[in-house]
Structure 1
Amino acid sequence: MSSWWRDAVIYQVYIRSFADGNGDGVGDVAGLRSRLPYLAALGVDALWLNPWYASPQVDAGYDVSDYRRLDPLFGTLEDAKALIADAHEHGLRLILDIVPNHTSDQHPWFQEALAATPHSPARSRYHFRPGRGADGSEPPTDWPSIFGGPAWTRTVDADGKPGDWYLHLFAPEQPDLNWTNPEVRTEFESILRFWLDLGVDGFRIDVAHGLTKDPAFPDVASASAAAGMLDGVAADHPYFDRDETLAIYEGWRQVADSYEGERVFVAEAWVADASRVARYLTPTRLHTAFNFGLLSCPWDATALRTEIDATLGVLAAVGAPATWVLSNHDVIRHATRYGRTQTSLTDARRLYGTPVDHALGERRARAAMQLINALPGGTYVYQGEELGLPEVEDLPPETWQDPNRHHSDHDGPVRDGCRVPLPWSGDAAPFGFSPAGATAAPWLPQPAEWKNRTAAAEEQDPHSTLSHYRALLHIRREWLGRGLGDGTPLEWIAAPSGVLAFRRGEVLCYANLSAAPVALPEGYRVLIGSEEVEGAVLEVDVVVWLVAE
């Protein structure tokens, strides 16, 4: 019997944008609990929740001030316990987001550190260093923040004079923890146990490739070393993908393995290539990691096949399954990426705000979903993609809440565009996101045209993206062990240029990414197509699963 996580379909709940139960315009646990039947009906196996911990919400909860308490925005610890129980009753496992690279600057530890003297034990939990230059007015290194500006902020001593600097690879309100400090390691293993004791089924690890830093604190100097988090980094980088980080996860694995019921970890590790990802997934470390290589690929048969082969090859060597993903809360939705002529993640950032063919993007997005669910391993669904939601690239700047726009030297896409609250029902905002009679508007504005993309509207349409997802995931579940899911090898089949064709046990998958229709093999019937399949011809940008007549 395969471990559940090796071929699970896991749905990412961006909790502040999923469903608002109390009418304050922000999603919460009460809203999520009310929508569990929808998630169970969709056919997913587990939920991953973005951070719900106490937080000043500078970076949408990724700045945690108390890891053992819910933020009042989302509910109480009692609400959390009720959700865990409800999810399990619906046959859904629950995975929490854990943020180990940094805390909030409002965390008691950091407040204690600010009040302490240089070189004190309180400061050793973080990275405090004297500045450079005669008066210490220059940052200790040239490291850039992922959100723009320098990765160092200077403190003020008790006497009012400028003091040491502290490291924050993200916002200044997110100071990096010092993982060489045994107190930090002990605390996080305790946090894991706190939530595992309450019944959660695992953790998604934020910035899993971060945590440890080169003790020499060298300058990065070269542009390649100073790459953003979503760009693969070179080996021997001073603060990403360091060997010392791997040992931390060996301790975490021992914690998870001490619990019944297969508790799991999934790593957010933006590293140089699949072989670097595999280092996190040996049997004594983490269970899975997002395969961002495929997410970053253009809609191109050669590029996708190359990435699939590379991923499956290196993960097989460590006995780990692939974890395919197309979108999340940090990247431009794939229904929008695929709606342009240039379709890679890099292209999407460069072309942000330019015209999109939404019908084409949604067609390709459905095809891509069907393709990845035919591959060995598990998959993730980012909330709203099952409705075919596009990126909202025209949010008014006054509504932006993404901290990566605080610096003029950081002009990339605003991440709020993939975080707009879901449309559930009705013809006008808030589209059922908030309860009837709520006076607070959703925390980000919803496009008026989403009235055609509500869950209620799509449930009534057998040809909608929601209907496709439901049918696809239920068929996938039926065919686990007979070709789909984990375990059955992938065998490529000769096919015309621009077509991906492979066999998985009893199932054949054909993906037409070429510029013209192609003939399907004889003697097979259609199990499901990303669009209606007429006769034995596969149209452009359509994926089909076939089984023998």
Structure 2
Amino acid sequence: MTENAFDAAATNGSGDDRWWRSAVIYQVYVRSFADGDGDGVGDLPGIRDRLPYLAQLGVDALWITPFYRSPMADFGYDVADHRAVDPIFGTLDDARSLIDEAHGHGLRIILDLVPNHTSDRHAWFLGALEAAPGSRERERYVFRDGSGADGSLPPNDWESVFGGPAWTRVPDGQWYLHLFAPEQPDLNWENPEVHAEFEGVLRFWLDLGVDGFRVDVAHGMVKADGLPDVGHAGQVAMLGRRVLPYFDQDGVHDIHRSWRRLLNSYPGGRIGVAEAWAPTPERLARYVRPDELHQAFNFHYLTAPWDARAKGEVIEESLRTAALVGAPTTWVLSNHDVKRHVTRYGGGDLGLRRARAAALLMLALPGSAYVYQGEELGLAEVLDLPAEYLRDPQRGRDSESGRDGCRVPLPWSGEEPPFGFGPGDRSWLPLPEHWRDLTVERQSADPDSMLSLYRRALSVRRRHPALGDGPLRRLEAPPGTLAFVREPESGEGRSLACAVNMGDRSVRIPVNGPVLLTSGRVGDDDERLVLPPDTALWWERPVR
């Protein structure tokens, strides 16, 4: 049992049901985390083998991307059976063992739920293709007659997130909706059968002991009455900027309310996390009202540039809108759908310095934080993958939008690729040679490494009474610098202050207490510390 283990009673209702308000949740992209059987693809046994690493890192929970049975047209987000484990990832017994062993290490398990669509190999969709228009089988999906004199045009102008029309025609002339790949037909959430099926899926995994679900495309599912045209091309650019007739419709909130009731019926603080793109923080906050889901990813923070004013505005607005509904704010720097933030923040040494500072900033903010696997190693986007490996269906939109480069497997140990990813010498995506300097093995031995920084920061966060959930107060800071203080909710003990210099010149920070952690070297000027550009600082100070 590790030092951060929670009592087994936590999963039986007598533990901290509000753990999620301050949790640090580690995203495991299952294909790329660790390979247990040597076939070059990450799997559930691989995750189990690395649970001690995750416990030592100091996170509270794992969010694991889909490992359900799937043809893998979208690497698992095209689900053919929500109650079965795909053989490439293991077995249902492996899933049971992973859940139980994670709990033994003090780690909770959050699974991905994919409710907007299924695989085109799902038994329901295969039945729909065989059935006639208007049949019960087709009513589970969004089938429509085409437009134009002979029905040869799509029913409306909706576009797929992956490029091209969001409609595909079947041999009998009807069209089906797929807001993502053609292999991912959208479900019809006006159909009670769909609601009942997903309630059964939730219960199946909750009964096995999972602690919650990350809801993929939580802003989807419900489409506007009549499926009206958008009236514009380039609709992907509108995602997260305006309400579309197929995203962020008001009806999705009834679905989330029903799931919240179901989650509340289980003990132990089971949670729902919304992957929701909404045009304003106010609309995003609707997903985490007291009777809906518990958390929503804060993509406004993820996309904010490396600029003190921009980051500060997003932080204040996020805290303000979350407080309106009594929810915690979440913070995230990277995930499996976006370029890694080392690259987004400039790449090379510059991007790495900023990523180190960004880690301390994020982990000092109120609420819950998400860590994408590999960010604790300082991994950058792999931009030079050979063409034969570029298989992300999102590249159908444009060649630069592929997500392959942020999904390269983790380097664990050794001097040659695939750096201990599995017992064999294969990996489904190739690892760069220079990652030998970034392996877990090498960074564990280096007190100045990114991994050591994350371990220290997470250790301070876990034990410091001012961090986690709670208030934030901004401090006056030099231009280009963001500074704030976190004070214990009890009013007792010491507060923790954080300053991060996002400007282009060093600044002097008055530090009236012991320094706890810095993301890089700092100078000393009498009673002030000299904080270089792209550097963050944590220090303790008396409670005001």
Scaled by the length of structure 1, the TM-score of the pair is 0.92
Q: What is the identity, as a one-letter code, of the residue corresponding to 1:201?
A: D
- Aligned position for 1:227: 236
Mapped contact 2:17–2:269 kept (Cα < 8 A) = no
* Aligned mates of 1:176, 1:400 — CA distance in 2: 25
- The 3-state SS of whatever aligns with 2:523 is coil
- Aligned position for 1:342: none
- Aligned position for 1:496: 478
Q: What is the identity, as a one-letter code, of the residue corresponding to 1:455?
A: V
Q: 1:311 Cα shift? A: 0.5
Mapped contact 2:312–2:482 kept (Cα < 8 A) = yes
1:278-302: CA deviation from partner (whole Å, max 9, x where unpaired): 0111111000001110100110000
- Aligned position for 1:526: 515
- Aligned position for 1:336: 343
Equivalences for residues 93-492 of structure 1 within 5 A: 93-157=108-172, 163-223=173-233, 226-228=235-237, 231-235=239-243, 237-339=244-346, 356=347, 358-405=348-395, 407=396, 410-435=398-423, 438=424, 441-479=426-464, 482-487=465-470, 489-492=471-474
Mapped contact 1:152–1:168 kept (Cα < 8 A) = yes
Q: 1:218 Cα shift? A: 0.9
* Aligned mates of 2:325, 2:484 — CA distance in 1: 23
* Aligned mates of 1:494, 1:523 — CA distance in 2: 14
Confirm whether residue 5 of structure 1 aligns to residue 20 of structure 2.
Answer: yes
- Aligned position for 1:346: none
* Aligned mates of 2:444, 2:485 — CA distance in 1: 31
* Aligned mates of 2:78, 2:145 — CA distance in 1: 24
Q: 1:125 Cα shift? A: 0.4
Q: 1:515 Cα shift? A: 1.4
Q: 1:310 Cα shift? A: 0.6
Q: 1:414 Cα shift? A: 1.4
- Aligned position for 1:513: 502
- The 3-state SS of whatever aligns with 1:312 is helix
Mapped contact 2:511–2:539 kept (Cα < 8 A) = no
Q: What is the identity, as a one-letter code, of the residue corresponding to 2:379?
A: L
Mapped contact 1:2–1:486 kept (Cα < 8 A) = no
Q: What is the identity, as a one-letter code, of the residue corresponding to 1:42?
A: L
* Aligned mates of 1:335, 1:46 — CA distance in 2: 23
- The 3-state SS of whatever aligns with 1:156 is coil
Q: What is the identity, as a one-letter code, of the residue corresponding to 2:22?
A: D
Q: What is the identity, as a one-letter code, of the residue corresponding to 1:317?
A: L
Q: 1:525 Cα shift? A: 1.5
Which stretch shows the higher mean deviation, 318-327 or 214-223? Answer: 214-223
Q: 1:81 Cα shift? A: 0.2
1:504-528: CA deviation from partner (whole Å, max 9, x where unpaired): 1101111111111111214222111
Q: 1:154 Cα shift? A: 0.3
Q: 1:190 Cα shift? A: 0.7
* Aligned mates of 2:52, 2:287 — CA distance in 1: 34
- Aligned position for 2:8: none
Confirm whether residue 86 of structure 1 aligns to residue 101 of structure 2.
Answer: yes
* Aligned mates of 1:325, 1:186 — CA distance in 2: 32
* Aligned mates of 1:473, 1:241 — CA distance in 2: 34
- The 3-state SS of whatever aligns with 1:531 is coil
Scaled by the length of structure 2, the TM-score of the pair is 0.93
Gaps of 5+ in 2: 1-15, 488-494
1:237-280: CA deviation from partner (whole Å, max 9, x where unpaired): 21000000100011000110000000001110011121111011
- The 3-state SS of whatever aligns with 2:213 is strand
- The 3-state SS of whatever aligns with 1:373 is helix
- The 3-state SS of whatever aligns with 2:251 is helix
1:8-54: CA deviation from partner (whole Å, max 9, x where unpaired): 00000000000001000000011110000000000000000000000
* Aligned mates of 1:137, 1:412 — CA distance in 2: 31
Gaps of 5+ in 1: 158-162, 340-355
* Aligned mates of 2:453, 2:122 — CA distance in 1: 44
Q: 1:99 Cα shift? A: 0.2
Q: 1:418 Cα shift? A: 0.2
* Aligned mates of 2:301, 2:258 — CA distance in 1: 29
Mapped contact 1:227–1:233 kept (Cα < 8 A) = no
1:193-213: CA deviation from partner (whole Å, max 9, x where unpaired): 000000000000000000100
Q: Structure 1 residue runs of 4+, over 3 Å off?
A: none
Mapped contact 1:422–1:433 kept (Cα < 8 A) = yes
Q: 1:227 Cα shift? A: 2.8
* Aligned mates of 2:237, 2:171 — CA distance in 1: 29
Q: What is the identity, as a one-letter code, of the residue corresponding to 2:520?
A: E
- Aligned position for 1:160: none
* Aligned mates of 2:511, 2:315 — CA distance in 1: 26
Mapped contact 1:518–1:538 kept (Cα < 8 A) = yes
Mapped contact 2:23–2:368 kept (Cα < 8 A) = yes
* Aligned mates of 1:523, 1:547 — CA distance in 2: 8
* Aligned mates of 1:29, 1:58 — CA distance in 2: 20
* Residue from 519, 531, 541 that aligns with 1:538: 531
Q: What is the identity, as a one-letter code, of the residue corresponding to 1:221?
A: G
